[in-house]
Amino acid sequence: MSDVLTNPLTRNVRSDRTPTDMLAYEANGGYRALKMTVGQRAPEDCLQIIQDSNLRGRGGAGFPTGLKWSFVPKEPTTPGPKYLICNADEMEPGTFKDRLLLECDPHQLIEGMILSAYTLQADVAYIFIRSEYLLAASLLRKAIADCRAKGYLGKNILGSGFDLEMHVHASAGRYICGEETALISSLEGKRANPRAKPPFPQVSGLWGRPTIVNNVETLCNIHHILERGADWFQSLGNGEDAGTKLYGVSGRVKRPGCWELPIGTTVREILEEHAGGMEDGFTMRGFLPGGGSTDFLTPEHLDVPMDYGSIGKVGSRMGTGTMIILDDKTCPIGFIHNLTKFFAQESCGFCTPCRDGLPWSAQVLESLELGDGRPEDLDTLAYQVEYIGAIGNTHCALAPGAMEPVQSALKYFREDFEAHIEQGCCPYAEGTH
């Protein structure tokens, strides 16, 4: 089977990362799915294919995409537009997979969004992109202009009677904008606070209209599925989950990077075969499997498949599928303090446990790292994990996610916490080895 079949998402990614333009994209089969779908298939038939494919969201939650789309009212009770939003606000610590797709193959996302909007019968689409992704935003705007010139966007696309406008919107620059309802609030020009659900965005989202928000990697799969079919997509996975997945590794490995592999590839294969293993002189103590807001796993979990169910069974989440490695020469308390400080800074401030609790956690961790920790600090951290980390105690999932590395560090690296207290300093600090 050729790479175009086994590595659909990265088939146009060049070794020098030169972006694929319209000419090169179409020469490699690009917009073929658009031409065979828009005006040629019924939107409900497209939705059924997506549902049958078992595509799950690649932004972190892993919710079935077709099921999410099915909640959009086919005939809204009041007239007005429907919206499709691409969440390209990639701010999860340790995550860089969407940037690869945006900078190397922007037309893949555009085609996926056009077909998604056609399936949903959405009138307007937005790419809500991280403000620092200047190159990606520029490439996307050029790709959108090229599509308008070719008749792939705008009025009466390919003579089908289907209209779609698409816009690039730079994020206000906060981590909370990655939460879909906070993103919608930001796009409306409001403070990026998450909204209570229900109503869900599928029914009442952007400006009160039916809205679907999906991640970049999710939407890039759509045109491949509609072109090749649900059975083909399911055949790409190694287990119950379907398709390929962009996996990344950062930390003290020989070849940090990002690779498209069958979903369900083991942690060991990703780390040792693709990332080249640990750097000489370093040993892995643990890893966050799906970005900065997931629980630590340890070397005993190296043979666990990186899919939603398998990672969940061993006490973590696959999240974005981008691993952050903790090595034996890096202080785990300093590691999680850095993350907790980030999440505290990025809180929207709406609810007390997140607004005040995360800075409190960061303060306790800083005291431990500076050698000012006390034995009762471990009880305080355990209390914070129990209270702040409980879904339902906070307005959204930011604070519970922020506490995941803390709770798992207390579980796996408790002796490091105790050593900080007993020695009155960080044992990993220079000169203390």
Q: Are 322 and 306 in contact (CB under 8 A)?
A: no
- 15: how many CB neighbours lie within 10 A of its CB? 5
Minimum mean pLDDT among 282-286, 358-362, 385-389: which range? 385-389
- Provide mean pLDDT across the span 96-123: 97
pLDDT, position 113? 98
What is the Cα–Cα distance from 99 to 136, expressed in whole angstroms?
A: 7
For CATH 3.40.50.11540, list the domain ranges present in the chain.
3-235
What is the fold of 332-423? de novo design (two linked rop proteins) (1.20.1440)
- Binned at pLDDT 50, 70 and 90, residue 3 comes out as very low
DSSP letters, 236-289, are TSSSSS-SEEEEEEESSBSS-EEEEEETT-BHHIIIIIIS-SBPTT--EEEEEB
As annotated, the residues of the chain forming the CATH 1.20.1440.230 domain(s) are: 332-423
Question: How many residues in the chain?
Answer: 433
State the Cα–Cα distance between residues 89 and 368, nearest whole angstrom.
33
pLDDT at 5: 74
Q: What is the mean pLDDT of residues 91-97?
A: 93
- The first and second tokens of residue 178, run together, are 């990655």
pLDDT of 78 above 80: no
Cα gap 98→100, rounded to integer Å: 5
* pLDDT number for residue 430: 65
- Please determine, for residue 285, whether its predicted confidence score (pLDDT) is greater than 70: yes
2 pLDDT above the threshold of 50:
no
The structure's pTM equals 0.93
User: Above 70 in pLDDT, residue 433?
Assistant: no
More confident residue, 197 or 303: 303
- Residue whose C-alpha is closest to residue 385's, from 366, 367, 361, 368: 361
The one-letter amino acid at 338: N
Specify the CATH architecture of the domain 244-327: Roll (3.10)
> Residues of CATH 3.10.20.600 domain(s) within the chain?
244-327
| pLDDT over threshold 90, residue 432 | no
Q: Which of 40-49, 334-343, 422-431 is predicted least confidently?
A: 422-431
- Per-residue pLDDT tens over the stretch 148-202: 999 999 999 999 999 999 999 999 878 999 899 999 999 999 999 999 889 999 9
Reported as a single tens digit per residue, the pLDDT across 239-256 is: 889 999 999 999 999 999
The predicted structure's pLDDT at residue 431: 42
Q: Which residue from 311, 339, 283 is spatially nearest to 56, judged by alpha carbons?
A: 311
Query: CATH class for domain 3-235?
Result: alpha beta
pLDDT in tens, 266-278: 999 999 999 999 9
In the predicted model, what is the mean pLDDT of residues 339-366?
94
| % of the chain residues with pLDDT over 70 | 98
Q: Is the pLDDT of residue 4 over 70?
A: no
Q: What per-residue confidence (pLDDT) applies to 60?
A: 80
What is the predicted pLDDT for the residue at 240? 87
**Dihedral (CA of 432, 337, 341, 288) sign:** positive
3-7, 147-151, 215-219, 420-424: least confidently modelled range: 3-7
Backbone phi, then psi, for 246, in 5-degree steps?
A: -85, 115
User: Tens digits of per-residue pLDDT, 387-424?
Assistant: 998 888 999 999 999 999 999 999 999 999 999 999 99
Nearest to 126 by CA among 166, 79, 77: 166
